[in-house]
Amino acid sequence: MRMSTLFLRTLREDPADAEVASHKLLVRAGYIRRAAPGIYSWLPLGLKVLAKIEAVVREEMDAIGAQEVHFPALLPKEPYEATGRWTEYGPNLFRVKDRKEADYLLAPTHEEMFTLLVRDLYSSYKDLPAILYQVQTKYRDEARPRAGLIRGREFIMKDSYSFDIDEAGLDASYAKHRGAYQRIFDRLGLDYVIVAAEAGAMGGSRSEEFLHPCEIGEDTFVRSAGGYAANVEAVATPVPGEQDASGIGPAHVEDTPDTPTIDTLVAAANQIAPRQDRPWTAADTLKNVVVALVSPTGERELLVVGLPGDRQVDAKRLEAAVFPAEVDQTTEADFAAHPELVPGYIGPQVLGPNGAPREEDRTDGAGGAVRYLLDPRVVPGTAWVTGANERGKHVFDLVAGRDFTADGVIDVAEVRAGDEAPDGSGPLELARGIEIGHIFALGQKYAKALELSVLDQNGKAVTVTMGSYGLGVTRVLAAIAESTSDEKGLAWPVPVAPAHVHVLATGKDPAVFETAERLADELDSMGVEVLYDDRPKVSAGVKFADSELLGLPYALVVGRGLADGVVEVRHRASGDREELPPEQAVARLRELLTGAGLSLR
């Protein structure tokens, strides 16, 4: 590859819409270009990195006995209707009508199609286990595509699916995938944490995410020193035992003027009704948060979440908990339709089973007042200070189970650093990460819906047990860029770099260009991938800046030093430089690349 003809132009300015380093640098270095929101075109260098990542993924999938197939992206609606996902995916699905008005979709994932294909081909327990995979373009109409390749609407995924006769088989297939993913990310040099996760739209009994720890990640996860790790959506709050409320007097309403917030309420409580043992804190108050939910079919419903006043509702935990419904902002109209909800002073007495039956307000037809769900910490016997449903009034000593109940439990309060791990393995710490893989023990959800069964040893039909396993190829590329780049540009590790050595000829001396070309040829003949900056009229400064921006692992600079018999080997990641005679430089590069695992001729 020669810079003089390579289809590449580097940009000095960050693209206006880019917030994160990988996005800025991949665009500036000419690896990708935006075609539409969340939709990117791949330029030559980007495509080379992508191909290298895909090759590693394929090798490790093949190594666990997975077989590669390839499904269409454009699929008929019917299989997705059979599993309910045509509706569940809601507006996240790109939907297409063909010229005969038949419904199609651009597939976000292919559980249905793999299930049907296996049903089509296999019929006996002897055919199992089977693991099938594809590396394929996926579509998801994200509400907020962002961060370049990290949350796109058209992206490349490796998705695989396992088919087993029973749970033990699934466990083995799941373990194989877990191992393959570990080897893939290790080979790619990408840090990861495996965390317990929610299955979400996929369904199934159990799932784990592979997260690349990274400040700009969209996922928050927790871990304890004792080894617990989970996506924040999947953290189950430890439930305290029921408490004895026999010593607590009857609830009493107090005037608390101008206390619409937890802080003002706590201050007022300590003034109006000071406790003997200790002051009131936010943790003594019960906050009732109103949210609006929209079902996949578009029905809107209000929900009130009751939780200790020292905790916020975590938006992601809430989204995961109410899936497939989506969370929407509440509006003035919502409150107008529910005059019993007095903002700042909402209490349980008018909510859920405590409220008046108001069938006309419920879209789910269940009758009763606005649905009311409680944080798991609000166990029977706990006493709370909470709203009295009248402006400027709160109620004290309102005891859960005695004075109010709820429609159920919802575990959506924020998880905080220092919270106890659910398995008792110590306090939690929080971090952010990019989801680079997600593995699901699906069980029989899809096999049942699409009637995939095989005959067992006794000739009896048995529903097949499935797993599904996703790995975001384009997202992995972005995560590597994110974790390896610096303020000067990209800095690819050897296994995924678009080429291994950037040979730069600087200055105007023809001898420099001749030597540079000869060294590039020598490296090339060893099997080293070379990008040669042969541009005749470009300054050394521009060449250095471009080289740092493009981020090949090593640069070989042939310039003024050549007159003194030396060239320079530059290490992109460390910034190290070595001056060596030309032939020693080639030998040094061979040594470095071989050390990084490359097999050269």
Residue 480 token pair: 């590597």
Output the smallest distance, CB 499 to its own copies, in A.
Answer: 13
Pick from 132, 147, 266, 593 the residue near its own copies by CB under 8 A: 132
Output the smallest distance, CB 548 to its own copies, in A.
Answer: 20
307: which strand partners? 287
- Taking alpha carbons only, the member of 263, 201, 194 closest to residue 229 is 194
Element (H, E) at 270: helix 262-272
Pick from 12, 13, 16, 99 the residue near its own copies by CB under 8 A: 99
Q: Please report whether residue 137 would count as binding its own copies according to CB under 8 A.
A: yes
* 554-558 and 567-571 beta bridge pairing: antiparallel
Pick from 12, 16, 143, 241 the residue near its own copies by CB under 8 A: 143
Only segment of 134-142, 324-332, 354-362, 426-434 that touches its own copies (CB under 8 A): 134-142
Q: Please report whether residue 228 would count as binding its own copies according to CB under 8 A.
A: no
* Number of Cβ atoms within 10 Å of the Cβ of 72: 12
**Cβ–Cβ under 8 Å, residues 161 and 133:** yes
Output the smallest distance, CB 582 to its own copies, in A.
Answer: 28
* Number of Cβ atoms within 10 Å of the Cβ of 457: 10
Pick from 130, 232, 327, 569 the residue near its own copies by CB under 8 A: 130
Give 278 or 601: the residue with its C-beta nearer to its own copies: 601
E strands present in 444-500: 453-455, 461-463, 465-472
Burial track 280-301 (b if 16+ CB lie within 10 A, e otherwise):
bebebbbbbbbbbbbbbeeeeb
**Cβ–Cβ under 8 Å, residues 48 and 112:** no
- DSSP-derived 3-state class of residue 50: helix
Site string for its own copies, 65-84 (x = CB under 8 A): x-xxxxxxxxxx--------
Output the smallest distance, CB 161 to its own copies, in A.
Answer: 11
Q: Is the Cα torsion angle 123, 126, 128, 132 positive or negative in sign?
A: negative
Q: Please report whether residue 522 would count as binding its own copies according to CB under 8 A.
A: no
Give 122 or 513: the residue with its C-beta nearer to its own copies: 122
Output the smallest distance, CB 204 to its own copies, in A.
Answer: 22
Give 98 or 591: the residue with its C-beta nearer to its own copies: 98
Q: Please report whether residue 141 would count as binding its own copies according to CB under 8 A.
A: yes
Only segment of 28-36, 197-205, 327-335, 381-389 that touches its own copies (CB under 8 A): 28-36
Task: Give the C-alpha separation, 90 to 298, whole Å.
Answer: 9
Site string for its own copies, 192-221 (x = CB under 8 A): ------------------------------
Pick from 55, 59, 63, 95 the residue near its own copies by CB under 8 A: 95
Q: Please report whether residue 521 would count as binding its own copies according to CB under 8 A.
A: no
Output the smallest distance, CB 110 to its own copies, in A.
Answer: 9
Residue 30 token pair: 């000419």
Output the smallest distance, CB 529 to its own copies, in A.
Answer: 14
Pick from 26, 28, 40, 406 the residue near its own copies by CB under 8 A: 40
Give the phi and the psi of residue 333 in degrees, each rounded to 5: -65, -35
- What are the residues whose beta carbons fall under 8 Å from the beta carbon of 5, sequence distance 6 or more? none
DSSP 313-351: BPHHHHHHHHTTSEEE---HHHHHH-TT--TT---GGGS
Give 10 or 354: the residue with its C-beta nearer to its own copies: 10
**Cβ–Cβ under 8 Å, residues 190 and 484:** no
Q: Please report whether residue 113 would count as binding its own copies according to CB under 8 A.
A: yes
- DSSP-derived 3-state class of residue 332: helix
Q: Please report whether residue 278 would count as binding its own copies according to CB under 8 A.
A: no
C-alpha torsion 593→595→600→601, nearest 10: 120
Angle at 143 between CA 139 and CA 148, to 5 degrees: 65
Only segment of 135-143, 213-221, 229-237, 402-410 that touches its own copies (CB under 8 A): 135-143
Give 7 or 16: the residue with its C-beta nearer to its own copies: 7
Output the smallest distance, CB 42 to its own copies, in A.
Answer: 4
Give 39 or 175: the residue with its C-beta nearer to its own copies: 39
Output the smallest distance, CB 35 to its own copies, in A.
Answer: 5
Output the smallest distance, CB 465 to its own copies, in A.
Answer: 18
Give 94 or 440: the residue with its C-beta nearer to its own copies: 94
Pick from 81, 122, 254, 488 the residue near its own copies by CB under 8 A: 122
Q: In this structure, which amino acid lies at residue 360?
A: E
Q: Please report whether residue 539 would count as binding its own copies according to CB under 8 A.
A: no
Q: Please report whether residue 35 would count as binding its own copies according to CB under 8 A.
A: yes
Task: Give the C-alpha separation, 492 to 497, whole Å.
Answer: 5
Distances (CA, A) of 334 to 264, 297, 339: 25, 19, 9
Only segment of 1-9, 232-240, 336-344, 564-572 that touches its own copies (CB under 8 A): 1-9
- What are the residues whose beta carbons fall under 8 Å from the beta carbon of 425, sequence distance 6 or more? 224, 225, 226, 227, 228
Q: In this structure, which amino acid lies at residue 592?
A: L
Number of residues that bind its own copies (CB under 8 A): 50
Q: Please report whether residue 526 would count as binding its own copies according to CB under 8 A.
A: no
**Cβ–Cβ under 8 Å, residues 174 and 143:** no
Q: Is the Cα torsion angle 8, 12, 18, 20 positive or negative in sign?
A: positive
**Interface with its own copies (CB under 8 A):** 5-9, 30, 33, 35-36, 39-44, 47, 50, 65, 67-76, 91-92, 94-96, 98-99, 104, 106, 113, 117, 120-122, 130, 132, 137, 139, 141, 143, 153-154
